[in-house]
Structure 1
Amino acid sequence: MQPVWSKVAGACALVFCLGGTAVAGDGVVRIGVLNDQSGVFADSTGNGSTIAARMAAEDFGGKAAGMPIEIIAADHQNRPDIGAGIARRWFDLDHVDAIADLGNSAVALAVAEIARDKNKAVLISAGGTTALTGKSCSPNTVQWTYDTWSQSNAIGTALVKKGLKKWFFLTADYTFGYNLRDETSKVVLANGGQVVGSVAHPLNSSDFSSYLLQAQASKADVIALANGGNDTANSIKQAQEFRITKGNQVLVGLSMMITDIKALGLAAAQGLYVTETFYWDRTPESRAWSERWAKRNNGRYPTMMQAGVYGAVLHYLKAVQAVGSVDDGAKVVAEMKKLPTDDPLFGKGYILPNGRKIHDAYVFQIKSPEESKSDWDYYKLVSTVPGKEAFLTLEQSGCKLTK
Structure 2
Amino acid sequence: MKIAVLREASTGESRVAATPETVAKLIGLGAEIAIEAGAGLGSRISDQNFAAAGASLGSRVEAIDNADIILCVRRPSAASLAGARSGALLIGALDAFGHEAEIAAFAASGLTAISMEFMPRITRAQVMDILSSQANLSGYQAVIEAAALFERAMPMMMTAAGTVRPAKVFVMGAGVAGLQAIATARRLGAVVSATDVRAAAGEQVESLGAKFVMTDALKDASGTGGYARELTLTEQAAQAELVAGHIAKQDIVITTALIPGRPAPKLVTAAMIEAMTPGAIVVDLAAERGGNVELTRADEIVEHNGVKIVGYTNMASRIPTTASQLYARNLLAFIETLVDTASKSLAITWDDELVKATVLTRDGAIVHPNFTSTATLPPKNVPLEPPPRKVADAPKGDA
Range into which the TM-score falls when normalised by the shorter chain: 0.3 to 0.5
**TM-score between both structures, scaled by the size of structure 1:** 0.37
**TM-score between both structures, scaled by the size of structure 2:** 0.37
Structure with larger Rg: 2
Bigger fraction of residues in helix:
1
